[in-house]
């Protein structure tokens, strides 16, 4: 089975749950395991939250893009923003690193995305935005 979708939405925190619902609905025909569904929803949630909070910090009218493609049992996900970008990706990927205050952010976003997917990559350019790509092999039963 091959299927795909592309969507763009405003970079507002209310749309993080919308992105989780969309990826869930997209995967339903595959009849994934509960664990796979939870992992994917969590990874997408983290990627979208990072785009909204860090990519568009202090910016109105930002757009987050979510692309998903299911080829056989492999899910490919891409979450992109055209926000401020990341100056040092290696540092940003370290557990507990955050640009927010310690009380606001845990600094675990990239770590969580990596833990819940089979592959995760981050591309970013300061002033142009960030793209997170993830892959997950699913146990589809549909």
Q: Which of 20, 69, 93, 105 is catalytic?
A: 105
Known catalytic membership, residue 35: no
Cα–Cα distance measured from residue 45 to residue 10, given in angstroms and rounded to the nearest whole number: 14
Q: Is 71 marked active-site?
A: no
If one counts every other C-beta atom within 10 angstroms of the C-beta of residue 77, the result is 23
Confirm if 116 and 40 have CB atoms less than 8 A apart. Answer: yes
Structural contact between residues 79 and 47, judged by C-beta atoms closer than 8 angstroms: yes
Q: Does the annotation count 4 as an active-site position? A: no
Of the residues 2, 50, 91, 93, only one is catalytic, namely 50
Map residue 44 onto helix, strand or coil. helix
Q: From the CB of residue 80, how many other CB atoms can be counted at a distance below 10 Å?
A: 20
- The active-site residue, picked from 46, 71, 73, 114, is 46
| Phi, psi angle pair for 109, to nearest 5° | -55, -55
Q: Which residues are catalytic, by number?
A: 46, 50, 105
């Amino acid at each position: 089975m091959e299927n795909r979708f592309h969507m763009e939405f405003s970079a507002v925190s209310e749309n993080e749950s919308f992105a989780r619902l969309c990826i869930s609905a997209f995967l339903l025909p595959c009849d994934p395991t509960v664990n796979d569904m939870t992992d994917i929803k969590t990874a997408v949630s983290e990627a979208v939250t990072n785009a909204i909070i860090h990519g568009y910090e202090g910016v109105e009218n930002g757009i987050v893009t979510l692309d998903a493609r299911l080829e056989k049992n492999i899910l490919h996900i891409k979450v992109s923003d055209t926000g401020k970008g990341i100056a040092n990706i290696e540092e940003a990927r370290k557990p507990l690193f955050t640009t927010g205050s310690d009380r606001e952010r845990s600094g675990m976003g990239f770590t969580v995305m990596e833990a819940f997917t089979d592959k995760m990559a981050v591309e970013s350019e300061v002033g142009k935005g960030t793209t997170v790509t993830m892959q997950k092999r699913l146990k589809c039963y549909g």
